[in-house]
């Protein structure tokens, strides 16, 4: 039925209801006489016109009544009440009095019949239209607004694959109650029992405001069952309308291990980025590309994407041009080791801020190829830093790692030496140079998660180096936000560190991924392979002598790292071709751990 036909038939039905209501009201209570006929006719016409006017005003002919709820009932109440009030006013003008009791009866009949005509279809559908037998019994965790919305949408859609049979909620006041005819059967501690007793095959976690820890605790209870566990979208995605409440998705490891996000000082960051030229090295990488996305959200005039891999740079270029058509996106395919070209690029664009994310980060590979780690992480950083200084860049932010603290491997040592270079440049340059340290990034190319997922897809086993190995984890967006916030807070020479909360056991990460993939440890076993060369049992974000106890921004600290004679670092670079891999590795670790006597700590 077309919209015009639908409106016509509903208006015709309403007209009959209006006339029936007022005539019945007058028949029951109104006095008789010639005056009655005149008042009745005038009142009927007034009520009918008023009803259609307010019905159009509150769009009750445009509503989908099979999903009717309190909002629709409120609209009917307003339409009927305002129509009766207009009629009463006209009676007072025309007759010098109002038939209060008659209009009250008319008002009640009017609401009852209009509401009944609209809600009857929903009542019929909910009562007599049977659910399909192949629908999956579903447990909804959270009997609040989120869970109620999920249940209502599933109940209103007979074609839905899922059918809600029970709620779980930790609020003791809701225990034993029913919501939309669905019982609240227990708390999160009884999930396993409720699933077994009700033969539930699907679980939906419907509390969008859950903290990471709360979600982790609930998921651990869900993982004790064989039911598939999904979650409704994040609260911010629901609020901006990016997704609907029934856009269920699987629980990801980022949901369980990611930390609560750090709120940004958007005003301060905007002052650094809005309308400016920004250059990002390593722009095609997992961190670099996310930095580009975050930068573009602040509306720079130009963003320069510098990277060595043409495919990854092309990919992020296309994405940014599509999402931010008003921002000038420039691309430069270049290796940070190419000093001459880096200087040319920096002079060409003269950026206001440089985010240096280009680096070799793979620990075992850098152990086997220490000279490449030096070329990219040390020489490359020096080239970009000196070019930035030469081009009078305002702020230079280097992306570092927790492996730079008391490093035991080549990758960490070269990143620590890169920090030394950046701190030295801050002393000799007008550019503000800072570094940002954070731990492992969930989902990045160097993360262990892609390896675990691949091993699970291949049927296992999942390989973990040691049962006690722990690491700090954060998401790619949070790591990138920290980089931007550090640039906004920079005064020069700082090493910024994020309070990353509690470290996570790698074996627990592996177990979570196995459960999230729908397997048990019996199906996908975990095998311990032993620690690899250069690995540490745990990582540190600051050394014991580097810690400033106070936060300079929520969850952000500044390290007080000592200054060194930078010439010692340059000597290693000059001797690169004359050193064996073992000699080079030893010298790098001696410098990074301040064991080199020539280092001459100066502050």
Question: 45 with 145, same domain?
Answer: no
Half-sphere exposure of 2 (CA within 13 A, CB side): 3
Question: 83 with 151, same domain?
Answer: no
Is the model more confident about 41 or about 74?
74
Q: Is residue 597 part of a domain?
A: no
Tell me if 329 sits within 8 A of 255, measured CB to CB: no
> What is the Cα–Cα distance from 408 to 291, expressed in whole angstroms?
28
Is the model more confident about 549 or about 383?
383
Q: Is residue 570 part of a domain?
A: no
Greatest Cα pair distance, the chain, in angstroms, is 120
Question: 308 with 389, same domain?
Answer: yes
Question: 22 with 117, same domain?
Answer: yes
Tell me if 398 sits within 8 A of 422, measured CB to CB: yes
pLDDT band at 161 (very low <50, low <70, confident <90, very high): confident
CA distance to 1, 2, 48, 73, 77, per residue, from 6 (Å): 6, 6, 19, 19, 21
pLDDT at position 179, please?
A: 83
Does residue 383 carry a pLDDT above 60?
yes
pLDDT band at 67 (very low <50, low <70, confident <90, very high): low
Does residue 470 carry a pLDDT above 90?
no
CATH of the domain at 165: 3.40.50.720
Given 99, 128, 157, which residue is the final one in a domain?
128
CA distance to 126, 140, 246, 404, per residue, from 152 (Å): 11, 11, 10, 52
Question: 150 with 121, same domain?
Answer: no
Annotated catalytic residue within 276, 361, 375, 403: 403
Number of domains in the chain: 3
> What is the Cα–Cα distance from 115 to 28, expressed in whole angstroms?
22
pLDDT at position 108, please?
A: 83
Question: 318 with 244, same domain?
Answer: no
Catalytic site residue 403?
A: yes
As given in the structure block, the two tokens for residue 520 are: 């048990």
> What is the pLDDT of the chain when averaged over all its residues?
80
> What is the Cα–Cα distance from 503 to 50, expressed in whole angstroms?
67
Question: 298 with 414, same domain?
Answer: yes
Strand partners, 473: 440
DSSP string, 5-38: HHHHHHHHHHHHHHHHHHHHHHHHHPPPSHHHHH
**93-102, 137-146, 339-348, 446-455: least confidently modelled range:** 93-102
Q: Is residue 63 part of a domain?
A: yes
Q: Is residue 232 part of a domain?
A: yes
Packed helices 266-273 and 476-489: angle between N→C axes, nearest 10 degrees? 70
pLDDT at position 8, please?
A: 74
Half-sphere exposure of 302 (CA within 13 A, CB side): 12
Mean pLDDT is highest, among 106-110, 348-352, 475-479, for 348-352
Packed helices 380-390 and 339-349: angle between N→C axes, nearest 10 degrees? 30
Given 216, 251, 286, which residue is the final one in a domain?
251
> What is the Cα–Cα distance from 3 to 1, expressed in whole angstroms?
7
Q: Is residue 558 part of a domain?
A: yes
> What is the Cα–Cα distance from 250 to 205, expressed in whole angstroms?
10
Question: 116 with 166, same domain?
Answer: no
Is the model more confident about 589 or about 317?
317
Phi, psi of 473 (to 5 degrees): -130, 150
Question: 546 with 472, same domain?
Answer: yes
Q: Is residue 382 part of a domain?
A: yes
pLDDT at position 274, please?
A: 92
pLDDT at position 293, please?
A: 92
Strand partners, 436: 399, 496
Does residue 603 carry a pLDDT above 50?
no
398-443, pLDDT tens digit by residue?
Answer: 998 878 878 889 998 999 999 989 989 999 999 999 998 877 666 5
**293-302, 362-371, 592-601: least confidently modelled range:** 592-601
pLDDT at position 374, please?
A: 92
* Helix extents (H) in 58-99: 70-95
Phi, psi of 165 (to 5 degrees): -120, -15
> What is the Cα–Cα distance from 120 to 322, expressed in whole angstroms?
48
pLDDT at position 239, please?
A: 46
Range of the domain at 151: 136-251
Is the model more confident about 180 or about 330?
330
pLDDT at position 242, please?
A: 45
SS3 511: helix
> What is the Cα–Cα distance from 82 to 71, expressed in whole angstroms?
17
Given 219, 251, 283, which residue is the final one in a domain?
251
**For the CA atoms of 464, 254, 300, 343, what is the dihedral angle to 10 degrees?**
0
Strand partners, 179: 182
Question: 221 with 354, same domain?
Answer: no
- Going by C-alpha positions, the residue among 353, 342, 292, 350 that lies closest to residue 317 is 292
Q: Is residue 573 part of a domain?
A: no
What mean pLDDT is predicted for residues 197-220?
A: 84
pLDDT band at 243 (very low <50, low <70, confident <90, very high): very low
Share of the chain above pLDDT 70, in %: 77
pLDDT at position 107, please?
A: 81
pLDDT at position 240, please?
A: 43
Question: 141 with 99, same domain?
Answer: no
Mean pLDDT is highest, among 76-90, 118-132, 137-151, 318-332, for 318-332
549: part of which helix (H) or strand (E)? none
Question: 502 with 530, same domain?
Answer: yes
Q: Is residue 257 part of a domain?
A: no
Strands 504-505 and 470-471: antiparallel
Tell me if 471 sits within 8 A of 539, measured CB to CB: yes
Q: Provide the 8-state DSSP code for 450.
A: H
> What is the Cα–Cα distance from 374 to 449, expressed in whole angstroms?
26
Taking residue 471's Cβ as centre, other Cβ atoms within 10 Å add up to 20
Mean pLDDT is highest, among 101-115, 302-316, 503-517, 545-559, for 302-316
Is the model more confident about 305 or about 496?
305
SS3 212: helix
Q: pTM above the 0.85 mark?
A: no
């Amino acid at each position: 039925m077309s919209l015009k036909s639908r409106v016509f038939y509903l208006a015709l039905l309403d007209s009959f209801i209006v006339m029936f209501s007022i005539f019945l009201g007058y028949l029951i209570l109104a006095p008789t006489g010639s005056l009655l006929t005149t008042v009745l006719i005038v009142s009927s016409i007034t009520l009918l016109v008023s009803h259609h006017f307010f019905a159009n005003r509150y769009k009750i002919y445009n509503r989908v009544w099979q999903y009717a709820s309190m909002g629709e009932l409120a609209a009917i109440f307003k339409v009927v009440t305002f129509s009766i009030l207009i009629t009463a006013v006209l009676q007072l003008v025309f007759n010098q009095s109002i038939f209060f009791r008659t209009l009250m009866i008319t008002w009640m009949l009017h609401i009852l019949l209009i509401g009944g005509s609209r809600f009857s279809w929903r009542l019929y559908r909910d009562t007599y239209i049977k659910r399909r037998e192949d629908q999956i019994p579903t447990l909804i965790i959270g009997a609040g607004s989120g869970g109620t919305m999920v249940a209502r949408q599933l109940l209103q859609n007979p074609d839905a694959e899922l059918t809600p049979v029970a709620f779980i909620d930790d609020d003791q006041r809701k225990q034993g109650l029913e919501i939309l005819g669905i019982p609240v059967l227990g708390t999160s501690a009884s999930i396993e029992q409720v699933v077994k007793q009700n033969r539930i095959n699907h679980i939906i976690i419907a509390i969008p405001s859950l903290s990471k820890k709360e979600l982790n605790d609930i998921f651990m209870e869900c993982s004790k069952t064989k039911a598939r566990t999904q979650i409704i979208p994040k609260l911010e995605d629901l609020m901006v309308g990016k997704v609907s409440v029934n856009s269920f998705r699987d629980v990801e490891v980022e949901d369980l291990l990611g930390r609560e996000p750090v709120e940004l000082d958007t005003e301060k960051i905007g002052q650094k980025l809005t309308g400016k030229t920004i250059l990002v090295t390593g722009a095609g990488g997992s961190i670099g590309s996310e930095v580009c996305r975050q930068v573009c959200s602040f509306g720079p005039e130009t963003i320069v994407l510098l990277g060595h891999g043409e495919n990854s740079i092309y990919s992020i270029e296309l994405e940014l041009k599509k999402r931010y058509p008003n921002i000038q996106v420039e691309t430069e395919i270049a290796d940070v080791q190419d000093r001459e070209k880096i200087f040319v690029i920096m002079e060409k664009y003269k950026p206001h801020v440089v985010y240096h994310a280009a680096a070799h980060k793979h620990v075992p590979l850098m152990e086997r190829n220490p000279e490449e780690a030096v070329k990219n992480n040390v020489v490359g950083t020096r080239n970009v830093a000196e070019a930035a200084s030469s081009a009078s860049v305002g702020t230079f932010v280097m992306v570092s790692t927790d492996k730079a603290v008391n490093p035991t491997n080549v990758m960490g040592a070269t990143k620590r030496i890169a920090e030394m270079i950046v701190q030295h440049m801050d002393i000799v340059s007008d550019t503000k140079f800072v570094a940002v340290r954070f731990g492992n990034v969930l989902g990045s190319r160097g993360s262990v998660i892609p390896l675990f997922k691949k091993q699970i897809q291949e049927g296992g086993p999942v390989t973990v180096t040691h049962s006690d190995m722990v690491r700090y984890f954060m998401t790619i967006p949070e790591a990138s936000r920290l980089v931007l916030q550090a640039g906004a807070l920079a005064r020069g020479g700082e090493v910024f560190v994020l309070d990353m909360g509690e470290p996570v056991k790698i074996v627990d990460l592996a177990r979570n991924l196995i459960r999230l993939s729908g397997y048990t440890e019996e199906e996908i076993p975990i095998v311990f392979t032993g620690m690899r060369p250069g690995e540490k049992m745990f990582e540190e974000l600051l050394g014991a002598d580097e810690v400033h106890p106070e936060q300079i921004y929520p969850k952000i600290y500044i390290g007080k790292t000592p200054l060194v004679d930078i010439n010692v670092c340059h000597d290693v670079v000059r001797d690169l071709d004359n050193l064996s891999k073992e000699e080079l590795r030893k010298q790098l670790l001696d410098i990074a751990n301040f064991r080199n006597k020539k280092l001459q700590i100066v502050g």
